[in-house]
Structure formats: structure tokens, C-alpha cells
Chains A and B, each alone.
Chain A
Amino acid sequence: MIQYIIASMNFYVRKPFGLAQGRPNLIWQKVLVGAGILVGLIIFLNLFESPVRNTFYFISSPISNVFFQAGKNINQFFGSFLTFGAYQKENSNLKQENKNLLSQIAGLQDQIKQNQDLKSFIQTPSQADFSILSAETIGLNSANDMITISRGSKDGIQEGMPVISPQKVVYGKVTKVYKNFSEVMLVSNVKSVVDVKILQTGLEKPQINGAVKGIGNLGAYLDLVNSDAKIQEHDVLITSGLEGIFPADLLVGKIESASQNDAKAFQTANVKPFFDINTLDNVFVITNYKK
């Protein structure tokens, strides 16, 4: 194979490679020098990974903003054209309102529960327990389920900080911080795991806990739910706050279809995450959440 490759590279070979004719030494010299330069380049890039990426984001952010808005506008235009404009807008407003209401219900449920059972002192952090920092989305990598935001270490961003929407929908957490920018791993990323509980409407119902795991391509599933727990379609999943990264009662997603297998110790379900990449312009980073 090497013989074919080197012959294809048009090095100075008069005879097929392997024969001691032509200038075989020159070939090997070139191959070794090329490989050395390549390895050196890769080492250099990895040594200065953070400044290189930060510079790229810095240079590209003005152009990215233009393309981001253009993509969003075109998508909305065709979206509304295909779904008869007004209906889609109305639907979008209803979704927004629904998320707000779900968020309020989540908060109220916990308050009622705390009032009824004073003995249980499981602390449920309220909005006042953390402060937020707004950031613009400047990059969206749907292939890796990552977004890039316009805040970095100089703004006090640190790895592991949760990122949410204005409606308290969880986007994910910060995984890499540069000077001016940060990369956020969405909950749909294959490496993402978020502890959740099912939003219960009745107070007497037992709490059902689980974990939402990403499957990539903006999808996720619910795992680690006890086999005897009753979960069903359209159940809303909110953060439990158990893992200490995300505050409790943030919206995560909705169960699309549940599957129970007696052979498995835990139930699983397909989850439709609440975050929407079409409304990703501004996000909030929770900067001082205390476990």
C-alpha cells in the first residue's frame, strides 16, 4: 500500500518504491520531515489549545452573529410558511406560557410540600439561592450537542456551571472555559447526565427519581427509574438537585414514550428535551449555585 501511496504522491521516483534506484533516501527524508512537522504542529496546537480556540471564537463572533440571526430568521420564515404562520406563532407563545406555568407549578409544589411536612428538611433552593449571568449564544454544534456562549473566565465563568433559559429550561452545563468564551454541553450530549424527578400533580404521590442521559442529535432518554414506579407519556421532568450541579425544579424535558422491561432493573423512556435551538439567542449561566 505504501508503495502505491508514495508513487501517487509524485515524489522523485523513477522506479517503483523499494528498489534501490532513483532517490529512495530523499523519499524517506521527505516522509520523515513531513511526519515530524505534522506531529510538531499537533503538539503545538494542543499546548496552546485554549488561546487558539479563544482567538478563533473572538475573530468569528461578529460573523457568527450575522449567520446565527440569518439562520434563525430564515428558519422562522420557512417554518411559519410551512405551518401557516399564525398558528405557529400562537403555538410558540403557548409553549412559552406553558413552560412558565410548569416552572411555577414546580416551585409551588415544593412550597406546599414543605408547609405540609415540616419534618422533612430537604433543602430546595429557590431562585434567590443563585445568581445568573446572561450570555449570547455564538455557536451551535448540533453534531456534538454543544453550544458556545459569549462569556468566559474573565466574566467569572467556571467549568460545571449550569446554563438555563429565561424560562428556567435547562440547556446544560459549562464544560470548557476560555478567556472570552465558553463551551456548553447540552443535556442531549452523549456524556451528559442530569438527575431528575417527575413533576407530580398530587401531593400524596411518591417522588420518582431518575437520570436524563443524552443520546446525541438533540435527543435524550430517562434512565434509572425504579421498575415499580409509574411513569407515563407527557410526564414532565424537572431537576432534582441531587447531584449538586443543577438547582432543583428546573425544567428538563417531557417523556415521549415509556418502556418497561421486566428483565431490567430500571425503566427507561424517551425524552423530548424542553430546550429549543431556535430560541437559543440568550441564555443564563448560574454562577453561584451552592449545593
Chain B
Amino acid sequence: MIGKTISFIIFSLVCFLLTIIQTVFLPFFNIWGVAPNLLFILFFFVIFFSNKKDFTATFFMILMIGFFSDIISQSHFGIFIGTYVILYFLHLFINNFLQDRQGKNVVVYFIGEFCVLFLLCHFTLNPSVLVHLLYSLLFALTAFYVCQTFIFTNHDNNQLKLL
């Protein structure tokens, strides 16, 4: 229980730090006015690699990411919390079809689902959103390979097993 609480606190601090990096650091490296969406990348990692048996922990993490996304969105609270919860349920739905077809091409599923959820999260499809998507995907893929190499090498609970 204490271990779980500490991990929640650490996760909250990570969200806090990523929020700051996203709002004050990355805009200096924008491409056509867009910077990578770190919080969305974190959200996607949480749902993609989360342990299905620990629904409460996953849900908490999604709420936390949604909360920080709402803070920097300058809109009312709840927009991103709600969006991320809906996207999580959508992910669970998609996962029911994909889990039987997992294989060595997990990166293809990763990219495909990332693109779909990103576009749904941003509601619109225009050139700047596509640039935003590609820029974020670049960061996500880098993180994906880092995780695959160093963190999830023997992880059995991945939603799509990294074979």
C-alpha cells in the first residue's frame, strides 16, 4: 500500500514536470508553431503498457494526466479528463480485437493506435494537427524504443506483448 502511494506521488511529480517542460521548454523548439504533446504521449504509454488487472492505478494515472492537461489548456476543467477517460475505454475496446493478433510488429500497432487516439483527442484534421502528430510521434517512438530496450524487456503484462 505504501509502495503504491509512493508510486502515485512519483507519477504525479512526473506529470507536473512534464507539464512544465511542455509549456515553457518545448515551445522554443516548435515546428510551425507546434511542440510535442508530452502529456498525451505519457497518457498513451500508460494505457498501452498498463497492467490490465490494475484498473484503479491506470484510472488514477489517466485522471492525473487529464488534470494537468486541463490546467494548461486554458479551458474548463474536465475537457481533457473526460476525453482521456473516453479514449481509454476506446483503447480497451480496440484492444479486444488486437490482442489476438499481436506479434512482432507491435510497433505498427503502437503507431496506428497512437495516430488514431491523437487525432480523436484533437478533434480536427488539418495540416498543423498533422505536424503536431508527427512531432509527438517522433518523441513517442523514441520513448517506445527506450522502454522496449531498458524497461519492458521482460514485462509480461503489456497489453501487446513485446516479443
Contact = CB atoms under 8 A, between A and B. Distances in A.
A216 interface: yes
Interface string B56-88: 000100010001001111101110011001000
Given A5-B92, A41-B63, A60-B16, A141 B74 contact: yes
A226 interface: no
B149 interface: no
A69 to B, nearest CB: 9
B150 interface: no
B120 interface: no
A150 B145 CA distance: 39
Range for the number of chain B residues in contact with chain A: 35 or more
A133 interface: no
Interface of B: 16-17, 19-21, 23-30, 32-35, 37, 52-53, 55, 59, 63, 67, 70-74, 76-78, 81-82, 85, 89, 92-93, 95-96, 128, 132
Given A42-B82, A49-B76, A219-B33, A140 B27 contact: yes
Interface string A106-150: 000000000000000000000000000000001111111110100
Contacts of B59: 34
B77 A49 contact: yes
Nearest to A218: B33
Contacts of B76: 46, 49
A26 interface: no
The A interface is mostly helix, strand or loop, or mixed, namely helix
Contacts of B67: 45
A228 to B, nearest CB: 32
A45 B70 contact: yes
Contacts of B70: 45
A72 interface: yes
B78 A141 contact: no
The B interface is mostly helix, strand or loop, or mixed, namely helix
B19 A60 contact: yes
30 contacts: A4-B92, A4-B93, A5-B89, A5-B93, A7-B96, A8-B92, A8-B96, A38-B85, A42-B77, A42-B78, A45-B78, A49-B76, A52-B77, A60-B16, A60-B19, A64-B20, A67-B21, A67-B24, A67-B25, A71-B27, A71-B29, A72-B28, A140-B23, A142-B30, A142-B35, A143-B34, A143-B37, A144-B74, A146-B74, A219-B33
Nearest to B70: A45
Given A142-B33, A144-B73, 13 more contacts: A10-B55, A42-B78, A52-B77, A60-B20, A67-B20, A67-B24, A68-B25, A139-B72, A142-B34, A144-B74, A145-B33, A188-B33, A277-B28
A48 to B, nearest CB: 9
Contacts of A74: 28
Interface of A: 1, 4-5, 7-11, 34, 38, 41-42, 45-46, 49, 52-53, 56, 60, 63-64, 67-68, 70-72, 74-75, 138-146, 148, 175-176, 183, 188, 216-219, 277-278
A141 B68 CA distance: 13
A148 B23 CA distance: 10
Contacts of B89: 5
Contacts of A68: 24-25
B81 A38 contact: yes
Nearest to A176: B74
A68 B96 CA distance: 43
A63 B20 contact: yes
Contacts of B25: 67-68, 70-71
